[in-house]
Amino acid sequence: MIGFEIRGKENVGLRYDLPMPKLHMNEVLIKIKYCGICGSDTHQYHTGIQLQSGGKPYVLGHEIVGEVVEINCDSKLPYKVGDWVVGRPFFNCGVCDNCRNGRESICEGGIKLMTLADEGNGGYAEYAKLPAKVCFPINDDVDRTIAALTEPLAVAVYDVRESGMQPGDTVLCSGGGVIGGIIACYCRYLGAKNVVVTATNANRRKWLESLGFKTVNPRDPDCEDQLKALNGGKLYDVTFECCGAQDSYKLCTNMTRRGGTFMFVGVTTEMREIYVRHILVYQMTVKGVNMYETKDFYKAYQIVNNHEMDEDLSKFVTDIFPLEQAYDGYMKAMSKDGSQVKVLLDCEVKH
């Protein structure tokens, strides 16, 4: 079968002789229809293959939707061969204290995505396998492109839940990418009184405004004054830092009210500075988040399956590339012009 793999730093390409995944007990084989290109995948393009792979190339992709074509399971499942599913795509040990307490995202053994599964592969391929217990059946009337957003929506569900945001709160999302945009939409869905998003790119701000959000360019000299003005002259109850940039950390620190919450969401491998005295004096809660937990994925799945956020989510997928053109899709996902939001690969290859 065909798959799109990472082979090293800035070295990706199609592999045409990828072996079909072999099922062990309690696993299912999925014929992938769509797989979203995640920022974590494009980050690997710049950094190279992960140590967990043993230095070997591997197939990327974890935001999947597809059709179940084989089941090897000894227990009753809520789906059968021929049904369409989305899947929670990470693996955790299941036996450490955190896992046993339902905190899979901070598994003491370290979680890994399906891209690095033993004898498996990621979702940028014609087929992939997952444990049967982490697959969820989607209704026939669900738009498959929206279903492909279940995984990033789960990230937003977790981040917002961890923030403690309540209906009527005011929210600032610093960074208007896919995750920042979905967090903004989910906060509004939950009843946030006011949600404002910052983005440096004009095309991205225009897209965010099409979703109904007020936006500010964080590079404007009077950015902070603009943000206060958009919030009735006040600071925000909850801020989500969604891009990992130093200036964004400073902005969220300055824009969080006394007693408010500042959430670290954006991924960065760089050292960042933060003004601790300001945090102390304002007695703000500062919290980091990683991935999500199964209950958050299930909540995202229910939202998608029940069409509860279709109007917003339908605007996220801007580009779809066939698997055979995965490289072009990958480059599009990394485009700096901001004309794209979520790029999907259509993995249904016509042999």
Say which residues have a Cβ less than 8 Å from residue 136's Cβ, sequence separation at least 6.
78, 79, 85, 86, 87, 88, 150, 297, 298, 301, 305
Residue 117: what pLDDT?
64
Q: How far apart are CA 16 and CA 67, in angstroms?
A: 21
Give the span between the Cα atoms of 342 and 319, in whole angstroms: 7
Tokens of 95: 């036996």
Q: What is the Cα–Cα distance from 153 to 182, expressed in whole angstroms?
A: 6
28 with 130: CB under 8 angstroms?
A: yes
User: What pLDDT, on the 0 to 100 scale, is given for residue 48?
Assistant: 82
The predicted structure's pLDDT at residue 52 = 66
The Cα–Cα gap between 253 and 274 comes to 8
Q: Six-digit token pair at 273?
A: 């500075």
Residue 176 and residue 202 in contact, taking contact as beta carbons nearer than 8 Å: no
CB of 203 within 8 A of CB of 337?
A: yes
User: Quick one: CA dihedral 155, 158, 161, 162, positive or negative?
Assistant: negative
Residue 286: the pLDDT is 96
| Predicted pLDDT of residue 112 | 80
Residue 282 CB neighbours (<10 A): 17
pLDDT of residue 44: 85
Residue 118 is predicted with a pLDDT of: 65
What pLDDT, on a 0 to 100 scale, did the predictor assign at position 43?
Answer: 85
pTM for the full predicted model: 0.95
Length of the chain: 351
**Quick one: which H or E segment has residue 188?**
helix 178-189
Which is it for strands 170-174 and 236-241: parallel, antiparallel or unpaired?
Answer: parallel
Rounded-to-integer distance, Cα 294 and Cα 88, Å: 7
At 194, which amino acid appears? N
Mean pLDDT of successive 10-residue stretches along the chain, which has 351 residues? 93 94 95 95 84 80 97 95 96 92 91 74 95 96 98 98 98 96 98 97 96 98 98 98 94 98 91 92 96 96 98 97 97 92 95 72
Element (H, E) at 303: helix 294-305
- Reduced to 3 states, what is the DSSP secondary structure of residue 85? strand
